[in-house]
Structure 1
Amino acid sequence: MDRSPQGMTFISQAVEDLNLVPVSSQASSTNTSQVQISQMVAPVVEKTMNKSENLFFTGSSLTSQVHAAAINGDKGALHRLIVGNSALKDKEDQFGRTPLMYCVLADRLDCADALLKAGADVNKTDHSRRTALHLAAQKGNYRFMKLLLTRRANWMQKDLEEMTPLHLTTRHKSPKCLALQTALHWSAYYNNPEHVKLLIKHDSNIGIPDVEGKIPLHWAANHKDPSAVHTARCILDAAPTESLLNWQDYEGRTPLHFAVADGNVTVVDVLTSYESCNITSYDNLFRTPLHWAALLGHAQIVHLLLERNKSGTIPSDSQGATPLHYAAQSNFAVSKT
């Protein structure tokens, strides 16, 4: 670990940006421990807090170790601690802050990614009801916001001051973070057809991709609730184009792939009712919606897709496997009749 003054820059920046506990004179000491560094970035969340109150972690605490590993970017130590005790991935300190939150504060993207892959709760809140996304938004950290949003972080979560990450993002001059997902994406995600109608009426772009390459129709289709068909219809009524219906995200998935994945027969029915909807569109692994339906055992959707597959051909993936192979692999009996 770099213990030089240059190596401590991120701590000073965290203090400046987020009103954290000032760096003590021990910060530049060559004997600074991981726990001491985690102490330096422990935030004061109560202005009226008694000064005699102990703001720091106990050195022998596993909690302090996992927070310190996150702050210092020690991915190996973080992995060992979590493997030994999986509950540590979401362990809170006395301010309610998790290792993921400290990764944001210290700009440790690799450690944050490791925590999320280990199942860390991306929407966990601290005692101020702020999430990791709040912290990333306040710092205007595009890379972190992109990572957290791809893990379904909630952009509309309110803290104790009724502030959302979206509010905090608008404080920065650069629109880069704000453009990660638009209001229309979120309205479609939360299945709010009236909001979608209003935004489209005011010229919101229905074809703009978000951080994952998804357009609002992807999010509208990505619902188990049959009522999501109303949101999908609002978007399609505005522009039922071939481009919109067959738009592929960065993984090659169309809105139809997502409707199939959720087993939403109603939305699948609406999407495939358009002649321009490509029922045999391949994702990046060369799987069609029919492959997905067969693998997941959605028999009704399988029959619907076969019925509307005008090409008459049965698609194969990159390994030559057909939807029938997928159904057999999952022990689902699906026939064309």
Structure 2
Amino acid sequence: MAASVDPRRLYRLVHEGQLCALREELRAAGRADCAGPAGDTLLHCAARHGHLDVLTYLVEAWDMDIEATNRDYKRPLHEAASMGHRDCVRYLLGRGAAVDCLKKADWTPLMMACTRRNLEVVQDLVEHGANPLLKNKDGWNSFHVASREGDPRILQYLLTVCPAAWKTESKVGRTPLHTAAMHGCLEAVKLLLQRCQYEADCRDKCGLTPFMDAIQCGHLGVARLLLEKHKAQVSSEDSLGAQALHRAAVTGQDEAIRFLVSELGVDVDVRATSARSSALHYAAKEGHVSTVQTLLSLGADLNAKDGRDRSDTPSRQPKRVLCPETASERGGSPAPGYRDAIDGDHS
């Protein structure tokens, strides 16, 4: 009679790569098809933790299905690719794993691999037929995902094998250049400006340009590069009429504000056209005390009124309008994500 199975012990043995002990347990149990957390199989666990010997044993001794999915529709290939375990990726591909299988939110193994700085895994997947142009539910292809991580080698490689990969926008109109700028990936931005043909001050559906993204996230090296090489306009406005200065005030980027005002000559009291608010209004509204002090030190008018005849007194609680953003912008795997947009209504 087969012994009872303790799934937790089996998954621990796989997690730790204890092949000999696992072999003994499975022989005694007479089966290997025990479900784990999130619907994983032992194969998912072995691939995730990079234990090729365990992976091989489970496939060849127990005939486990390499196309098994968990509750997120991940397959073992997704797990191995996302963690950069090249030997496991190559083994699964050699066994005929579907290279462009989709997990939840339509992520392929290649997209998952592009969340890591592991060129060899990306190459293996592409050489086995992975399509870099496929898009996930947010409208991101693999090149766009790679632009968030900012590895120039992966971006170079994808452009070599698929020259049109850069011509992509997310469902909210964001380009790989927006994404690389937002995440401060200076070398990636250099490459995108050299090898791709993005329009100067290309805008997403909220009206943001890559320069605005760089400024509001405090990436001054990227901002300088966009000014020098891409002819970015400092005074460009988003869909609510806010300029880079206003967005820096919302996010509390004091150094970016000094850069805009002291080095680039931006008027510290320039108004956002929709609400007639200055950077000082926005900083006060968000409760950024140091940013208010920075703006005042740069000559901001403390008595200025906004479009509703209100001053910069930070008496109201911060209120934000959330501009829906692709889930892909925030992390390796999709999760609900939003990007702050400036609120034109200060009520």
Q: TM-score, normalised by structure 1?
A: 0.47
Greater length-normalized contact order (CA 8 Å, ≥ 6 residues apart): 2
Q: TM-score, normalised by structure 2?
A: 0.46
